[in-house]
Structure 1
Amino acid sequence: MSTLSFSEQEIIVQSQGFLASDMNGEKVMLSIDNGKYYNLGAVGGRIWELVAVPSTIETIVTHLVAEYEIGFEECRQQVSVFLQQLLGEGLVQVQAG
């Protein structure tokens, strides 16, 4: 697992080609291209919703800190790891800001 962190200038956005649905409070997705199934969970689903529009990691973390009981730095680290996993699966794209 990569421990790289996203820079403040990088923009993260959903990749196209995924069907997403809410199931029992968790976000589940299906890749149209390869048929692979993903369960992002509740918080992962919220992150997925936040990257529906191009967002920086700082924007994502700011939203999550306001919604959940977590400190900014801990949230930033966990979100960064999660986004790296999504990036590795091709679920999100990173653009220079």
Structure 2
Amino acid sequence: MIIIDYQSIIQRSNKLVSSNMDGETVMMSIENGEYFGLNSVGSRMWELIENPIKVNTLIELLLDEFDVSREQCEAETMEFLNHLLDKKLLTIIPAK
């Protein structure tokens, strides 16, 4: 089982087609044809993980943009990222 931690370098999968519609993102998996929808916060996170980024950097960016406590941001970000990983919508970049 792959575990995401704060030092993990992550990037969204390139095996998706996605589109932004009125601040929300709609995606379709090329592999299995499954559709996914993200609200405005999830859509912003999706934008931020287009390129490789450390999880702790992602959290810092979200804290700068949204009025949320660090604890809530960390918990919800990790939950979201693990969900993306479970659905094969996220890849972890091996450390060099």
Q: Normalised by the size of structure 1, how large is the TM-score?
A: 0.87
The one of 58, 61, 67 equivalent to 1:60 is 58
- Tell me by how many angstroms 1:56 deviates: 1.1
Q: CA RMSD in A?
A: 1.6
Gaps of 5+ in 2: none
Gaps of 5+ in 1: none
**Which residue is 2:21 aligned to?**
23
**Which residue is 1:75 aligned to?**
73
Q: Could you tell me whether the CA contact under 8 Å between 2:7 and 2:56 is conserved in 1?
A: no
1:6 and 1:19 map into 2 onto residues whose CA distance is 24
* Number of matched pairs: 94
Runs of 4+ that moved beyond 4 A: none
Q: Normalised by the size of structure 2, how large is the TM-score?
A: 0.88
**Which residue is 1:43 aligned to?**
41
AA of the residue aligned to 2:8:
E
Residues 40-97 of structure 1: per-residue CA shift (max 9 Å, x gap): 1111111111111111111111111111101122101110000000000000011333
